Amino acid sequence: MTTADVFKPFLMRIDKVTEETPDVRTLRLAFQDEREGRGFTFRTGQFGEYSVFGEGECTFCIASPPTRQGYIECTFRKAGRVTGALADLEAGETIGFRGPYGNVFPIDEWEKKSLLFIAGGIALPPMRSVIWNVLDLRDRYRDITIVYGARTVADLVYKSELAEWEKRPDVRLVATVDPGGQTPDWKGEIGFVPAVLDKLAPASRDTVAVVCGPPVMIKFTFPVLARLGFAPEKIFTTLENRMKCGVGKCGRCNVGKHFVCKDGPVFTFAQLQEMPQEY
């Protein structure tokens, strides 16, 4: 007798590899067993454990939206043992995936509201899922604004999608790079995300803000949003603590009594204000 175990991953075939920057890549993954794929559903904001057999597992959000079926995507920076191994793989090869885990961005509750997305660097991937999710249901939402910053032009991920959003009349994209990170032909903003946001001064009325980025960006962005009149419960973010199990057992992702893997990864700023600084 054997039994399906929570730690047993799906086998996924790499269908497509996109090199986003010299050290960031996106993998499009399809279920090796089509029947498993048909039974698989997820919602935007959820994450998974991706594995290279023999190297181990690592945690990323699902970077594609649930509105695009038949595959999932993940985007990661080559940084450690497993991401290093993932960076060496090619289309056609097999990796493991288990999930979806965690809670979701409550996009149903955001209907008829304007949405303000603010992302920094490698934190656009978790937001890309929700951005495409709402763009695929575009008529349910009002204005959609995306503020995205990276250290340099070379560090901007999803360049072709940024170009697509730039062209869309129903999306306002504000891209920025840190001072010194611009190229001669850079047409976007130059400045740190909080400063660019401050200058942009988007309206907070009937608007939900979603913020993802490195801790320092988050730290300086919240006060700007507060000044613009965003209530803490109208600001959403997604936390990315180190995880192993993804299902509330291994004991390391907790922020106080909250499991990032079970109670998150999506939290409102109102919730974060009640939580200890363990992220």
Partner 1 sequence: MNSMEKDTRLIGREALAKLFAQWLGEGRRILAPKQSNDKVDFAEVETPGEVSLDPVQTGQSPKGALFPRVEELFSFPSRDGRVELRERDLAALKPTVVFGLRPCDAAALAALAAIFNWDSADALFSARLAALTTVGVACNRCDEYCFCTSLGGGPGATTGSDILLTDMGGGEYLAEVISEKGRQAIQGAGTLFQPALGKDKESRLARVEKAFDLDKVKPALEALFDDEAFWVEQSLRCLGCGACAYVCPTCACFDIQDENGRRLRCWDSCGFGLFTLHTSGHNPRPLQSQRWRQRLMHKFSYMPERQSVLGCVGCGRCSRACPVDMNILEHLRAVAEAKP
* Site residues, partner 1 (CB under 8 A): 1-9, 11, 51, 53-58, 79-80, 83, 94, 96, 214-215, 240-242, 244-245, 247-257, 262, 276-279
Minimum CB separation from partner 1 for residue 214, in Å? 8
How near is the Cβ of 171 to partner 1 at its closest, in Å? 30
Residues 6+ apart with CB under 8 A from 218: 211, 237
Closer Cβ to partner 1, 98 or 234, answer by number: 98
Smaller CB separation from partner 1, 47 or 110: 47
53 or 203: whose CB is closer to partner 1? 53
Half-sphere exposure of 196 (CA within 13 A, CB side): 24
Give the residue with the Cβ less far from partner 1, 11 or 17: 11
Q: Least Å distance between CB 246 and partner 1?
A: 10
Least separation in angstroms between CB 141 and partner 1: 32
Q: Which residues fall within 8 angstroms of residue 104, CB to CB, at 6 or more apart?
A: 43, 44, 45, 46, 266
- Minimal distance, residue 265 CB to partner 1, in Å: 14
- Report the nearest approach of partner 1 to the CB of residue 4 (Å): 8
Q: Pick between residue 7 and residue 71 the one whose CB is nearest to partner 1.
A: 7
Three-state secondary-structure class, residue 248: coil
9 versus 191: smaller Cβ distance to partner 1: 9
Contact 64, 46 (CB under 8 A): no
Query: ∠ CA 122-128-132 to the nearest 5 degrees?
Result: 170
Residue with tokens 């960031």: 24
CA dist., res. 111 & res. 115, Å (int) = 9
Compare residues 76 and 148 and give the one whose CB is closer to partner 1.
76
* Cβ contact 270:264 at 8 Å: no
Q: Which residues lie closer than 8 Å to 5 by C-beta, 6 or more apart?
A: none
Q: How far is the CB of 33 from partner 1 (least distance, A)?
A: 11
Which residues lie closer than 8 Å to 236 by C-beta, 6 or more apart? 105, 208, 209, 210, 211, 266, 267, 268, 269
Residues written for the chain: 279
Type of residue numbered 14: I
